[in-house]
Structure 1
Amino acid sequence: MNITIVAVGKIKEKYLRDAIEDYSKKLSKHVRLQLIEVSDEKTPDNASEKEEFQIKAKEGEAILKHIKDTAYVYALAIEGKIATTEELKKSIRSLDHGEGKEVVFIIGGSLGLSKEVLSRANYKLSFSRMTFPHQLMRVILLEQLNKIINN
């Protein structure tokens, strides 16, 4: 199985990079894993709705460049479906993982995902109705994928 995680922004905190590296190493024993970071756009203080829309659109364009037409896409979005680990496991395992088939998880920036990215998603997934830092979501996602793939 090929799993790609496309995420907005770089991880600056060493403890998060270490956790990502550890979970990625464990997961890579069972799947072909690719982590792609796209640049996050600076959001001015007191940004207008229009500015936020433009920022999400620009980040969205960068994300979509990394998604093949044949990929099955999970977009992490607060308004998505809250699934248990077992439900996500069933969803992933139900996909046809033929040669070259790719599963992509998308983690947006601090403003969330553009409507174009959300439209491209096959499944909108929420880990909680609470808001988590997008950098931390990489660790949480990789931990859950390890539970799903390694069990």
Structure 2
Amino acid sequence: MIRIIAVGKLKEKALSMLVEEYTKRLRPFTKLEIVEVADESAPMSNSDASNAMVKEKEGERILAKIKDNEYVILLDLWGEMMSSEAFAKKLEQLQTYSTSNLTFVIAGSLGPGENVYRRCNARLKLSEMTFTHQMTRVILLEQVYRAYMIRNHNPYHK
């Protein structure tokens, strides 16, 4: 099972349609669940302390959705980058030898709180570029789908 826990709702129809498309494509390969948690309004002061408070509150909402037996991969600007092939191999290894319950976390616009960092088992960086957390959801779904295509020797990857 693949779960994605994301802060905030998808607001753009085009992105929602892409999420639906990749959700449909993944059905034959894995159970997929997307969980949205509310984002916290950032105070106008935008100080380090207020940002930390926002990240901590969003983190509490994320952590409330994670079960003990889940392997948690945080999408993080300072995470490990890997090729699509390496990502496919990593998912296969985790689902074969560790756990079938993989949870990806997409934090809010300010990033994850320390509480989320402490809970994650791995950190993944999708790119050197920065994407909105809403676009990140689509990019992650496409890469998960691509990983299953690679594992099944499907020409989609080429």
Q: TM-score, normalised by structure 1?
A: 0.93
How is 1:52-131 mapped onto 2 (pairs within 5 angstroms)?
52-97=51-96, 101-131=100-130
How many residues align structurally? 149
Using the TM superposition, give the Cα deviation of residue 70 of structure 1 relative to its aligned residue in structure 2, in angstroms: 1.1
CA–CA separation in structure 1 for the residues paired with 2:11 and 2:85 = 31
RMSD, aligned CA? 1.4
CA–CA separation in structure 1 for the residues paired with 2:40 and 2:95 = 35
Is there any run of 5+ residues in structure 1 with no aligned partner, and where? none
Per-residue Cα deviation, 1:21-60 (whole angstroms, up to 9, x for no partner): 0011111221000000000011133411111000000000
State the partner residue of 2:155: none
Q: State percent identity of aligned pairs.
A: 41
Judging by fraction of residues, say which structure has more helix: 2
The ranges of structure 1 where at least 4 consecutive aligned residues each deviate by more than 4 angstroms after the TM superposition are none
Per-residue Cα deviation, 1:47-105 (whole angstroms, up to 9, x for no partner): 1111100000000010011111111111000011111111111111111448x831000
What is the SS of the residue equivalent to 2:25? Answer: helix
What is the SS of the residue equivalent to 1:95? Answer: helix
Q: Is the 8 A contact 1:60 1:116 kept in 2?
A: yes
Q: TM-score, normalised by structure 2?
A: 0.89
Judging by fraction of residues, say which structure has more strand: 1
How is 1:35-46 mapped onto 2 (pairs within 5 angstroms)?
35-46=34-45
Q: Which has the higher contact order (CA 8 A, sep 6+)?
A: 1
